[in-house]
Structure 1
Amino acid sequence: MFENLTDRLERSFKILKGEGKITEINVAETVKEIRKALIEADVNYKVAKTFTDEVKRKALGMNVLNAIKPGQLMVKVVHDELVSLMGGQATDINLAGNPTVILIAGLQGSGKTTFSAKLANHLKNKKGKSPLLVAGDVYRPAAIEQLKVLGQQINVPVFTIPGSNDPIGIAREAVRVAKNNNQNVVIIDTAGRLAIDEEMMKEVEAIKKAVSPNEILFVVDSMTGQDAVNTAKEFNDRLNFDGVVLTKLDGDTRGGAALSIRAVVDKPIKFVSTGEKLDALDIFHPDRMADRILGMGDIVSLVEKAQEQYDAEQAKILHKKILKDQFNFNDFLEQINQIKKMGNLKDLAGMIPGVGKALKDIDIDDDAFKNIEAIIKSMTPEERENPSLMNGSRRKRIAEGSGTSIVEVNRLLKQFEDMRKLMKMVSGGGAKNLARMMNQPHRR
């Protein structure tokens, strides 16, 4: 995400490379390039100008320590201003009320229905809530069916009134049903249009009046750039929503919406959605997003995603197996599944400082492990448990069964054996054994 903006900003910082100090001239030159980069990323012009004026003022007003180079100082100033521009800190969703009523609004195609299901999944699994999804888009039968299918996937009930064309009545009845069934969150998916129209706005206002939501979230497609900001302003003027959700942030977005919306509507971005999977929803952290925009990665989010899949008891069992040299292909397959659950592989790699830029033009999709999984699944249960059984005839059979080649099977077996040795070394004796294995002197 934001690859083009990241590249442009990096180029603008190079103006200060080799400079001994901050001056009016070199700062003005750098700021001019930063403003160009922001406008090219579809950031609102007024927002871009205010931002760069503030960067210039702060950069010239700082007492530069001898240890800090001008380029590094400018990166810090821009980072801090980006964080401030995007809201300063994460803003949680309001879960007051019994039940909590959350109204989802936005244009057609913005991703409202998918987000509604993602939010239900998030609140169920991470907040321990019992949500009820409400199909309030009575004009598109496909939207109702889509929500039902998504609800089944996450095991969350979907409320509808078959044949009804009264979204206000559906919303009101859904809240009553939720109270009776002890469901403590009601998420109402509303109808969208291809463009803002008076009829749509009156309808969503009427739903708001009927159910008095605790939270109104405006869902916007990040790829619509400046148009997203204009739409957000019109919706906010009518609904006074509580927060923004940016969807499709994993697409070829230029970043304009993420960087402009907060400044234009003065409402926080609360969630970002980065894929079709129903667990691909993240709380928006301005500081982490600023890190990513400036190519610094996002290690904190990566660790959090790993911890979500971490099972302490399973880890102990795995550790014992590694020490006893019993780590096998079943364990390996389980580790691959854990990684896949964390999300889109390219997005995960982009959270590691420096890696995102290196992978900019490399396509990594969710099928990256496809051949490895096919090879392992073509093994017999006995072969998975005991990798040492792999002789030539078994390898040939596995290659044929997995639709791969002997070369690929041999490569996987070699990589697996090397990894198993390394894991045992590190688990058994830490850095000492690892250093010995690498034929390097171990220093205390």
Structure 2
Amino acid sequence: MKFKKTLILLLSFIMLFAAIAGCGSKDKGEDKAEDKKEEKVEEKKEEKAEDKKEEKAEDKKEEKSEDKKEEKEEKKEVSDSSYDELDTFHIGWIAPLTGPGAMTGEFAKNAIDMWMEDYGTILDKPVEIHLEDSQHTDQGSANAYLRLASRGDISAFGGGHYSTQGLAYMPYVLEYEIPTIHHGSSVAFAKQVHEGNVWSWQNRISDAGTGSAIADAAITVLEMDKICIMHDTNSFGQGLADSVVARLKDEHGVDPELILSYSTGEANFDPYVSQLENAGCDSLIVLAHPNETALIQIATADLDIKKLGSPDSGAATTLELSGDAAAGWHSIADFVPTVEDEPAKSFAAKYLEKHGMDPDMNSSSSYDILTIIKEAAEAAGSADPQAINDAIADVEFQGIGSYYKFNDDHIGATYQFLAKNEDFGDRYAPVVVDKIMRADVAK
């Protein structure tokens, strides 16, 4: 009986221990399952966090890319409109202020000052004209242009009062891409336009047109017979001589009796006059700039022959130097100070009153170049060089020297004059004989 009780008691302990052990095992299993469950949750959390981190990184990358894109576009916009952000409209100008051509520069500067008095603003901003001295040399002209172009604020250029000096800075016109309106009339400017330098413009009719006008006037108006041609060997003189000779031969069947050439700066024309007389010429065509034209007029003053010249044969600069020797000369002129048409008449009267002498084509040309720039900039609504250059092609207005309408050669003036120098008592000045239209306008 005692053994039985002991056995029952032992079994009870065993069962109790088993129950406790079972509970412990169950708790551990549940703990492990719970741990695994928590681990999976943590893993998912980490995955989500990583995904979010990657998404954020991608978003930031895209934001940065977008920011850079916007920054680039903003920079481009600022660069393109930087000229419009300036408080002043800047114009560069190249003219001979010293050297043999200083009088030409003076005529230009006087007209520039008059334009500033009459207008003085573009796009409602004050205009500042940066006038640089070409020193009347090709190299000086190129250096002057480079100095101004490298400033970075010049919206347009004017000047180039001598073709060779204007051609000297044409590489910089192309490099800096600033619209440049030349006073020079060489055919080489138009040639470079068609070769890709679209920033180059001329406000005067080129030597090709002037050459044809001179040849036509020589035969049909002045009825010249035995013709001698005297010309400079520079780009202007040679190009104009080629145009005159070609027109005489092709259109009128006339060959010059004699063609004489000289170098810029020639001071003694007596030997040339002797050759002219020996050849039996009864007519003379001179293609020269003011200084040489005046010397030729003085050297030929006593010759009873018909005399016709390029624009400077009637220019105020020349007449001031040659005096009475200018009497009777005809010229194909870009501007005639005695013209009765407006606004040229009022301009000439105002200039004479202010400066005590007639304006010449450098005066009218300078005034008109500035007006062309103003018209183009205000049509474009911008001081940006590209915008102005694009707008020049559509500029059309009546200026001092001509009615302006640009053709494919980038030439603006639409007419010239045949003029004759007359004695006004206190001075010699050209008077209009006829108006000659630009070939493509006359058709």
TM-score by length of 2: 0.27
Name whichever structure is richer in strand by fraction.
2
TM-score by length of 1: 0.27
Structure with greater helix share of residues: 1
Higher relative contact order (CA 8 A, sep 6+): 1
